[in-house]
Structure 1
Amino acid sequence: MEKHRALNALSALSHDLRLDIFRLLIKAGPLGMAAGQIADRLEVRSNTLSNNLTILTSADLIRSNREGRSIRYFARMETMRGLLAFLMEDCCGGHPHLCQPVLDQIACDC
């Protein structure tokens, strides 16, 4: 991951509601969640949610799929793995193999 994309993702996650949305979508796994479900679960108005979903989408942290009149959202785990790999690239005092177990642990396609 390049530095600019990492900064975009970190910036998007630096807001409490967006972090809550992303974590909720991670928990939802491959089934994702409809926008209305997210709004209900987080007790947030749909227009506020929509703005924050747009920011997360622009940062490539989530993706969406239209289902009739509803939109379902999914966490993009490959982006999060890329971000974590970027952050840990030079970890462990020049011994990056020590950090590999952490990256392997999140390598699942949740």
Structure 2
Amino acid sequence: MTSPAQVVAASSDAADLHATATALLLELQTQLGALAATATVATERGRRPFRPPADWGPRLGELAYGLYLLADQTGVDVEAEIRLTADALVRRAQRSGPETGWPFTSA
């Protein structure tokens, strides 16, 4: 089976999507902003429950693609890093119980 990292690497090579890390970070910021704007509209600025609209999946996919592309361009095995982060969160939860705050600040 082909991993997401392999799919991104092959497609970015085929489409000549190579860019600097700075350019890719700016693009990721734009994509995250588009997701936030979608959530803002869908919830009427937080007044309604969030229900993912039809364009949510594609926008999230574009953001994930951009993250994998940044990892590929900077030599990071993002799948291995995801596993390490998940393992650290599980270990922390086992030591101290369920997390009460955002878990990534001190993983």
TM-score for both structures, normalised by structure 1: 0.29
Higher helix share: 2
Q: Considering only CA atoms, is the larger Rg found in Structure 1 or Structure 2?
A: 2
TM-score (ref. length: structure 2): 0.29
